[in-house]
């Protein structure tokens, strides 16, 4: 395949885009990991890392994903990228099912969707000059060697690194911020439409983090990108996202527009998460911790609503029935019995909605 073919492929896919079809659609995605242990490694239980997760990503938006460690946000990203195999669920990209006969192949998917990881050093080949690392994927996907290197040079320029100065350096010769710029350039080398940023700025110092966030905003506009931005930093997610998805123990508990989530969170966990943020203002310090204890072990999550063991509003219905993610009046969706009329929770509206 020649270079022009690579470019033409992207152009065709972009032109055929129906605005009503979400760029990425995830339905009932599930992944349970078996835990080794017990008698002769037979019964260790299952980590329910991602359990029945569904969401859409619209073309051109940034979807922020937040949650504490073990909530399944990184596993979700890896499942979407097909870095690990899912147990069940359907993933479609631009209306085409991934991995199905007549659907999108994994190879095609990776041309459309790329990922940037937290550890900037571990995600680069230490034995390749950074320009070669960036050029590698276009070369594998059929671009000529010279053309691939030329693209690498253009991308170095685009991420704010002087190609003459940086092209032949090795990863260990760069600072953390510079390496993360290289990783971003590498992710953009196939001209993807969707980039998954998994804690991509979390390891950087604050002054460098701001530089990289500005770069991400610029690149998004310049290359017409869509982002899935995964982070534990609620301030950064608020800054960069259009919509936010909140996860807890492998489940989506709430999803909605960023302003609605931060101003009027509907799920008690989202509320707790937001009020646990340090205050930044010494005159208005936090006086009470919103939750006690740590998140429970995902190996045997609580029955019903997984948050009920830490939720101050938990009632019998929360133990018995897992809440489903339902649309709320204000926009977005929430999985909480208190938000469903007639659910049996004392704080829910008694009347059943029509």
Partner 1 sequence: MSKEPVVTVEHLSVRFVGRDASVAAVNDVSFGVDAGKVLAILGESGSGKSVTLRALLRLLPPRTRVEGRIRVAGHDMTRLDEAGLRMVRGSKVAMIFQEPMSALDPVFSIGVQIAETIVRHEGVSYHVANRRALELLDMVQIPSAARRLKSYPHELSGGMRQRAMIALALSCRPQLLLADEPTTALDVTVQIQIILLLRQLQQNLDMAVVFVTHDVGVAAEVADQIAVMYAGRFVELGPAEAVIGSPAHPYTAALLTSTVVGSAFGKRLEAIPGMPPDLRALPVGCSFQPRCRFAEDRCRSAVPPEFAYAGAHMTRCLRVAAGEVALPGPNLGERSEVPTFPSHFGEDP
Name the residue nearer to partner 1 (CB basis): 102 or 285: 285
Q: How far is the CB of 195 from partner 1 (least distance, A)?
A: 19
CA distances from 245 to 83, 128, 166, 228, 321 (A): 21, 37, 37, 10, 22
* Residues of this chain that bind partner 1 (CB under 8 A): 68-69, 175, 177, 205-211, 213-214, 217, 232-236, 238-239, 262-265, 268, 271-295, 312-313, 330, 338, 347, 349
Min CB(193)–partner 1 separation in Å = 24
Q: Which pair of structure tokens corresponds to residue 163? A: 């190609």
In the complex with partner 1, which residue's Cβ is closer, 145 or 259?
A: 259
Tokens of 242: 């259009």
63's enclosing H/E stretch is: strand 62-66
Beta bridge partners of 179: none
Query: What is residue 104's DSSP assignment?
Result: B
Residue 26 or 130: the one with the smaller Cβ distance to partner 1 is: 130
CB 129 to partner 1: min, Å: 21
Tell the smallest beta-carbon distance from residue 172 to partner 1 (Å).
Answer: 15
Helices (H), the chain: 3-15, 73-80, 106-112, 130-140, 145-158, 163-166, 176-188, 206-223, 234-240, 258-263, 268-275, 316-320
Cα-only R_g, the chain: 22
Distance in Å, CB of 64 to partner 1, minimum: 12
Q: DSSP character for 94?
A: T
Q: Residue 348 class from Cβ within 10 Å (0-12 exposed, 13-18 middle, 19+ buried)? A: middle
CA 342 – CA 190 distance, rounded (Å): 50
Structure tokens at 327: 């649309």
HSE-CB of 189 using CA atoms within 13 angstroms: 31
**Complex with partner 1: residue 98 or 333, whichever CB lies closer:** 333
Taking the complex as a whole, the smallest distance from the CB of residue 230 to partner 1 amounts, in Å, to: 15
**Residue 94: CB minimum distance to partner 1, A:** 28
- Rounded to a whole number of angstroms, the distance between the first and last alpha carbons of the chain is 56
- With respect to partner 1, which residue has the nearer C-beta, 46 or 274? 274
Q: Which of 284/354 has CB closer to partner 1?
A: 284
CB-nearer residue toward partner 1: 98 or 219: 219
Rounded to a whole number of angstroms, the minimum distance from the CB of residue 212 to partner 1 is 8
- Kindly tell me which of 6 and 249 has the beta carbon lying closer to partner 1: 249
Taking the complex as a whole, how short is the minimal distance between the CB of residue 350 and partner 1, in angstroms? 11
- Shortest distance in whole angstroms from residue 246 CB to partner 1: 12
Nearest CB to partner 1, comparing residues 94 and 234: 234
SS3 at position 194: strand
- Bridge partners of residue 27, in order along the sequence: 90
Instruction: For partner 1, give the closer residue by CB, 149 or 245.
Output: 245
CA dist 39 to 42, 45, 208, Å? Answer: 6, 12, 49
Going across the sheet that includes 326-327, the strands are 113-116, 194-198, 226-230, 62-66, 243-248, 251-257, 333-334, 326-327
Any idea what the Cα angle at residue 233 is, between residues 258 and 183, rounded to 5°? 100
């Amino acid at each position: 395949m020649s270079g022009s073919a690579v470019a033409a492929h992207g152009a065709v896919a972009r032109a055929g885009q129906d605005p009503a079809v979400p760029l990425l659609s995830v339905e009932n995605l599930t992944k349970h990991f078996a835990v080794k242990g017990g008698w002769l490694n037979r019964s260790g239980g299952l980590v329910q890392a991602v359990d029945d997760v569904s969401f859409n990503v619209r073309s051109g938006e940034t979807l922020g994903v937040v949650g504490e460690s073990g909530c399944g946000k990184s596993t979700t990203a890896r499942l979407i990228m097909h870095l690990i195999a899912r147990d069940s669920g359907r993933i479609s990209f631009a209306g085409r099912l991934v991995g199905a006969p007549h659907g999108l192949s994994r190879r095609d998917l990776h041309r459309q969707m790329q990922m940037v990881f937290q550890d900037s050093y571990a995600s680069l080949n230490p034995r390749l000059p950074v320009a070669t690392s960036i050029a590698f994927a276009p070369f594998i996907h059929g671009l000529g060697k010279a053309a691939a290197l030329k693209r690498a040079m253009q991308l170095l320029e685009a991420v704010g690194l002087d190609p003459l100065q940086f092209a032949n350096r090795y990863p260990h010769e760069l600072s953390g911020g510079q390496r993360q710029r290289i990783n971003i350039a590498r992710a953009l080398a196939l001209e993807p439409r969707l980039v998954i940023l998994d804690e991509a700025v979390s390891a950087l110092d604050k002054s460098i983090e701001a530089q990289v966030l500005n770069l991400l905003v610029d690149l998004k506009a310049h290359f017409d990108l869509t982002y899935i931005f995964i982070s534990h930093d609620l301030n950064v997610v608020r800054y960069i996202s259009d919509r936010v998805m909140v996860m807890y123990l492998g489940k989506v508990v709430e999803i909605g527009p960023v302003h609605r989530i931060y101003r009027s969170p509907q799920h008690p966990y989202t509320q707790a998460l937001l009020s646990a943020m340090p205050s930044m203002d010494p005159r208005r310090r936090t006086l009470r911790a919103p939750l006690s204890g740590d998140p429970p072990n995902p190996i045997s999550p609580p029955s019903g609503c997984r948050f009920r063991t830490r939720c101050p509003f938990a009632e019998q219905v929360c133990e018995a029935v897992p809440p489903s993610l339902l649309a709320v009046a204000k926009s977005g969706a929430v999985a909480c019995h208190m938000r469903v009329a007639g659910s049996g929770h004392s704080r829910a509206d008694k009347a059943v909605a029509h």
